[in-house]
């Protein structure tokens, strides 16, 4: 009997292979060279807000080791690097005075990337609002749209041309759900009334930043969202209703206004009296033409009716599922289904997978210069295969950014969860590419073809 030929996993010409990080999670030295504090500097230094009292004061010390990190990217063959800028490094008070030293840091980083053949994908906002603006109401203040446009314009004028792919905001859902509704993330508020206001103002800021880019820039700009498919735990109508609410809250709350100019009606049901009537003209600002959308995908949710706040749902753990260290089920086929839903709902807008990865246990110290992480390799392989399936079905996926380049500060979970394809020894800050990094390097060299090869274990 002859065996069937191996599947051809070649990705489209021009598909961009890279990895991603965020400023506060890797840079360290948050107040160096004239930078102002951010809400995360303040939050992490508030007792009890982060695991073990961990802060971003040192993190991976990328602020001083950026050249070494770019060399590691080059050695792995990365074609792109998605990173974020610390707003308060550029504008210590959030608006007004520009801190040239902060701007110069990112200018040097961009130049080093380009010199090594790596395309920069720059995110304006990955959760670290200047503390000075939080003191003025932060995302609850409607002026934030003007603040954000001013900040964006400062960077566009300095870097556009060298940077050709821009992102306004990373994961607005996490900003509002974690920061304004449940208080688990900075700025640590817990208010059903604040969450929808902050969410709406984030989207107004997004729209204002896109408008500012069209006036100053000449390349591409988009929005990044974290979304996940919701599946009913049973055939009961109550669970179907729970899925409808969870899907609207996480997957449509930000994409609908950005791409359709409206909110899903379920949000009014979810928030009740806390849901405001927003001015119609706001949606003209929010709904700006985008060049792409970035999708961050990690897991799915099997959802049942329940009593969680504010959705009245519960997540049902799957007894035969594989779960990561963060408690997220490994479910790659959900990524294919999610990408198809995106195309069916919002059309043929180009998509980048701007984050995808997993936290599995890795030892704190590399063993003789090696870190074996077979579960991470299996996770990446299955999700890349799922992306290939979506492309074959007609979804315009343009690139993939593994999360994350480096082990790093996992926000309020401190340094307890390792997502990196490069291991960081937090005692010495030594970097060691994990087996997953070497495997991913081979995927890049083969442009995906080696996905059909046997795993190296």
For the stretch 74-115, pLDDT in tens is 999 999 999 999 999 999 999 999 999 999 999 999 999 999
Strands 292-296 and 351-355, by their bridges, are parallel
Using the predicted structure, report yes or no on whether residue 39 has a pLDDT greater than 90: yes
Rounded-to-integer distance, Cα 19 and Cα 401, Å:
4
Q: Minimal CA–CA distance to 263: which of 194, 204, 312, 303?
A: 204
- Predicted confidence at residue 244, as pLDDT, reads 98
Say how many C-beta atoms besides its own lie within 10 A of residue 277's C-beta: 6
Q: Which residue is listed with tokens 């299996």? A: 378
> What percent of the chain stands above pLDDT 90?
98
Confidence of residue 5 (pLDDT cuts 50, 70, 90): low
Rounded-to-integer distance, Cα 214 and Cα 211, Å:
5
- Any alpha helices (H) in 144-192, and if so which ranges? 144-159, 172-176
Q: Which residue is listed with tokens 């059903």? A: 192
Neighbour-count burial for 413-443, b at 16+ CB within 10 Å, e otherwise: bbbebbbbbbbbebeebebbbbbbbebbbeb
User: By the 8 A CB rule, do 250 and 173 touch?
Assistant: yes
Q: Spell out the residues 6+ positions from residue 14 whose beta carbon is closer than 8 angstroms to its own.
A: 398
User: By the 8 A CB rule, do 69 and 25 touch?
Assistant: no
Rounded-to-integer distance, Cα 407 and Cα 359, Å:
9
Counting Cα atoms < 13 Å in the Cβ hemisphere of 200 gives 24
- Predicted confidence at residue 457, as pLDDT, reads 79
Confidence of residue 7 (pLDDT cuts 50, 70, 90): confident
User: By the 8 A CB rule, do 59 and 25 touch?
Assistant: yes
Known catalytic residues are: 171, 355
The tens digit of pLDDT for each residue in 179-200 reads 999 999 999 999 999 999 999 9
Using the predicted structure, report yes or no on whether residue 410 has a pLDDT greater than 80: yes
Radius of gyration of the chain (CA): 21
pLDDT mean across residues, the chain: 97
What sign has the CA pseudo-torsion 222, 120, 108, 225? positive
The tens digit of pLDDT for each residue in 327-358 reads 999 999 999 999 999 999 999 999 999 999 99
User: By the 8 A CB rule, do 227 and 255 touch?
Assistant: yes
The tens digit of pLDDT for each residue in 244-277 reads 999 999 999 999 999 999 999 999 999 999 999 9
Q: Minimal CA–CA distance to 412: which of 192, 229, 174?
A: 174
Peptide bond into 310 cis (omega under 30): yes
User: By the 8 A CB rule, do 43 and 188 touch?
Assistant: yes
Confidence of residue 455 (pLDDT cuts 50, 70, 90): confident
Using the predicted structure, report yes or no on whether residue 4 has a pLDDT greater than 70: no
Q: Which two tokens stand for residue 148?
A: 């954000």
Neighbour-count burial for 355-367, b at 16+ CB within 10 Å, e otherwise: bbbbbbebeeebe
Tell me the C-alpha to C-alpha distance, in Å, between residue 170 and each of 70, 174, 305, 331, 436: 22, 9, 29, 22, 25
Confidence of residue 456 (pLDDT cuts 50, 70, 90): confident
Rounded-to-integer distance, Cα 19 and Cα 82, Å:
6
Q: Spell out the residues 6+ positions from residue 387 whose beta carbon is closer than 8 angstroms to its own.
A: 335, 336, 339, 353, 397, 400
What sign has the CA pseudo-torsion 276, 277, 278, 284? positive
Peptide bond into 343 cis (omega under 30): no
> What percent of the chain stands above pLDDT 70?
99
The tens digit of pLDDT for each residue in 284-328 reads 999 999 999 999 999 999 999 999 999 999 999 999 999 999 999
User: Strand, coil or helix: what is 122?
Assistant: strand
Specify the DSSP class assigned to residue 179.
I
Q: Spell out the residues 6+ positions from residue 211 whose beta carbon is closer than 8 angstroms to its own.
A: 149, 285, 288
In 3-105, the DSSP E strands lie at: 16-20, 80-84
């Amino acid at each position: 009997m002859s065996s069937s030929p191996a599947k051809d996993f070649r990705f489209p010409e021009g598909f961009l292979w890279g990895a991603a990080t965020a400023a506060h999670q890797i840079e360290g030295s948050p107040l160096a060279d004239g930078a102002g504090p951010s809400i995360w500097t303040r939050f992490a230094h508030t007792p009890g807000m982060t695991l073990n009292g961990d802060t971003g004061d040192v993190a991976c010390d990328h602020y001083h080791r950026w050249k070494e990190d770019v060399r590691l990217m080059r050695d792995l063959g990365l074609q792109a690097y998605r990173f974020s800028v610390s707003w308060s490094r550029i504008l210590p008070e959030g608006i007004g005075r520009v801190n040239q030293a902060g701007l110069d840091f990112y200018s040097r980083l961009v130049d080093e990337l380009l010199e090594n053949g790596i395309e920069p994908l720059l995110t304006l906002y990955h959760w670290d609002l200047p503390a000075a603006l939080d003191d003025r109401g932060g995302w609850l203040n409607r002026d934030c749209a003007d603040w954000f446009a001013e900040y964006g314009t400062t960077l566009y004028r300095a870097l556009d041309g060298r940077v050709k792919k821009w992102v306004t905001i990373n994961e607005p859902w996490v900003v509002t759900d974690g920061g304004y509704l449940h208080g688990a993330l900075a700025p640590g508020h817990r208010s059903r009334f604040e969450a929808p206001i902050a969410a709406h103002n984030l989207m107004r800021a997004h729209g204002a930043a896109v408008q500012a880019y069209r006036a100053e820039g000449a390349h591409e700009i988009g929005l990044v969202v974290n979304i996940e498919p919701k599946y009913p735990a049973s055939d009961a109508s109550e669970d179907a209703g729970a899925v409808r609410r969870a899907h609207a809250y996480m997957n449509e709350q930000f994409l609908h206004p950005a791409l359709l100019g409206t909110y899903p009606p379920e949000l009014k049901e979810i928030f009740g009296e806390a849901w405001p009537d927003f001015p119609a003209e706001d949606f003209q600002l929010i709904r700006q033409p985008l060049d792409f959308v970035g999708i961050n995908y990690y897991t799915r949710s099997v959802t049942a009716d329940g009593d969680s706040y504010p959705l009245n749902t519960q997540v049902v753990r799957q007894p035969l599922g594989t779960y990561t260290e963060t408690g997220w089920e490994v479910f790659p086929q959900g990524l294919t289904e999610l990408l198809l839903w995106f195309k069916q709902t919002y059309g043929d807008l180009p998509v980048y997978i701007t984050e995808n990865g997993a936290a599995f246990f890795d030892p704190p110290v590399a063993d003789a210069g090696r870190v074996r992480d077979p579960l991470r390799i299996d996770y990446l392989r299955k999700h890349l295969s799922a992306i290939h399936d979506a492309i074959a079905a007609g979804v315009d996926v343009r690139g993939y950014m593994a999360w994350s380049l480096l082990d790093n500060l996992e926000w309020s979970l401190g340094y307890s969860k390792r997502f990196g394809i490069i291991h960081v020894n937090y005692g010495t800050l030594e970097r060691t590419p994990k087996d997953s990094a070497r495997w991913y390097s081979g995927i890049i060299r083969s442009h995906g073809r080696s996905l059909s090869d046997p795993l190296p274990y």
